[in-house]
Amino acid sequence: MPKKFCVTGTCIPEKNYMVDISKRIDTIMHDYIENGQYFTINRARQYGKTTTLYLLERRLQKEYLVLSLSFEAVDEYFESLENLAEGLVMDIGTCLQEQNVAKEILEEWNRPLSVKFPMRSLGMKISNLCKASQKKVVLMIDEVDKSSDNQIFLSFLGLLREKYLRWQQGKDVTFQSVILAGVYDVKTLKLKLHPQEESKYNSPWNIAVDFQINMSFSVKDIESMLSEYENEHQTGMEILDIATVLYEYTSGYPYLVSRICQLVDERVVGTAQFPDVASAWTKEGILSAIKLLLKEPNTLFDDMTKKLLDYPQLKEMIQNILFSGVDFPFKREMPLIDLGVTFGFLKDRDGIVAVSNRIFETQLYDMFLAELAVNNKLYMETSANRNQFIVSGMLQMDLVMRKFFEYYEEIYGNNDQKFVEENGRKLFLLYLKPIINGTGNYYVEAQTRDYRRTDIIVDYKGKRFIVELKIWHGNEYHMRGEEQLFEYLDYYREDKGYLLSFNFNKKKKTGIQELNYNGKKILEVVV
């Protein structure tokens, strides 16, 4: 069977194109397992946790006895201490059987638990197993946060902690290492526990060390996956260039990288625009796959929507970042910021909170704009007349800007300064969305976004348009803005740019003009 890209379940090296994470596995082995560390791999959804555990298990089995469990579908285990102890005995027994441990070890493990003290009895079984095994024993549990707000689960962690501390003192024998994987860090259970349950805030998992390994993909990581694909398909792709584009849009989020590649391989290749692999594995082909990704329903985006409904304050914070250019200092001690990072939505960019990647940013913009679009006059006006902006298949950006001036003056010309400062960016993106929808992409350049300035990059069939949005704060500031845009055009090697200024001066002069400087042009719209 030929290899495929995989975004559901575990990636198998023999079956799937995947990033080479062998060095990461080596680091986990040397820095954590061999040193007898207990730790949690907590990362956002679809961040490669399960695949990492699988590859780690394969590697460990040469030297260790590995007990690999999952709490994915074991809700009944957490109905009582007896259920949890019995369930763990059953699952670990299966692992022991699969690894062909000695018959007497298996028989000892399967002896009945104490009815009166099931967890204490489980602890004794663990000690006996670790004494009898010729190999050191490693326990790993995936999807561990499915029940991490449960007191019974905390009792299990307490058992592991007690045995670990006694092991450190030379009074017991227990697991060489315990690895728990999930979205939430079970060392800080207050994310999932109810505020009134303060007694549960301090997790017994405080024996665990911090897991410091970066699980996002670097450009070099992505190159390793593309090289494997290229060796089999001979597309002629520029591997470094394609890896760089993928990284620019995903910041190395594992699911997003793999899904875009999968879409190019399975849905972009063979279309009218990209008839073969050579044409599809280009920047234009990647952008086409990104458009498909942003239009499709998937579990990652569904989870994002659900989380923002569950945490309206987090949603408000992200809207303030995206639409108002508010800079929040990055401090994970702040619960909202910690939540955003835990879910994979936010990251630290030079000490300021930022959305974690360009794909998420576009998805969030689309989500928020869709809410605003309902019964919005500007959106409906643009949607009804969108065909006028496309001539011979290409976006007419000059006309887009000129028409925005007309629509804005007609609909919002009399609104006060506060309304426009809060909504100017939203209104332009709301206007732009139906025009490029389905054919073009847009993203907001995070490095230049602040309270007064936002740069929007529009990609339409390989043609790039740069639009700077500015809040007018005096002529001198405005002149600096024009200079910045000319410099920006130089950086992007573009000859023409667009400047949209929201001017609140009572004597303001609205209108449209064209500026020229060193062979470059700016079409400026002042509203």
Indicate which CATH number applies to the domain containing 189.
3.40.50.300
Q: Could you tell me if residue 415 is inside a domain?
A: yes
150 and 277 belong to one structural domain: no
246 and 109 belong to one structural domain: no
* Alpha carbon 2 to its chain's center: 29
Range of the domain at 258: 219-296
- d(CA 354, CA 329) in angstroms, rounded, equals 10
Q: What is the bridge-based pairing of β-strands 453-460 and 440-444?
A: antiparallel
Domain end position, chosen among 207, 227, 258: 207
Domain end position, chosen among 274, 296, 318: 296
188 and 259 belong to one structural domain: no
Q: What is the bridge-based pairing of β-strands 463-471 and 394-395?
A: unpaired
Q: Could you tell me if residue 160 is inside a domain?
A: yes
Rounded to 5 degrees, φ, ψ at 307 are -65, -40
Q: Could you tell me if residue 268 is inside a domain?
A: yes
223 and 194 belong to one structural domain: no
Rounded to 5°, angle at Cα 406 from 403 and 407: 85
pLDDT value at position 426?
87
- Quickly count: other Cβ atoms within 10 Å of residue 2's Cβ: 7
Contact (CB, 8 A) for 461 and 394 = yes
- Quickly count: other Cβ atoms within 10 Å of residue 304's Cβ: 20
**What is the count of structural domains for the chain?**
3
203 and 273 belong to one structural domain: no
Q: Could you tell me if residue 510 is inside a domain?
A: yes
Q: Could you tell me if residue 408 is inside a domain?
A: yes
Q: Could you tell me if residue 186 is inside a domain?
A: yes
Q: What is the mean pLDDT of each run of 10 residues along the chain (527 residues)?
A: 92 96 96 96 95 97 96 90 96 96 96 95 97 97 78 89 96 97 75 44 80 96 97 97 97 98 97 96 94 92 95 95 89 93 95 95 93 88 90 94 92 76 84 87 72 79 88 60 76 88 74 86 90
pLDDT value at position 204?
80
pLDDT value at position 452?
62
177 and 226 belong to one structural domain: no
Q: Could you tell me if residue 478 is inside a domain?
A: yes
203 and 227 belong to one structural domain: no
Domain end position, chosen among 181, 207, 233: 207
Q: Could you tell me if residue 330 is inside a domain?
A: no
pLDDT value at position 360?
97
Q: 79, 243, 58: which is closest to 138 by C-alpha?
A: 58
286 and 184 belong to one structural domain: no
402 and 512 belong to one structural domain: yes
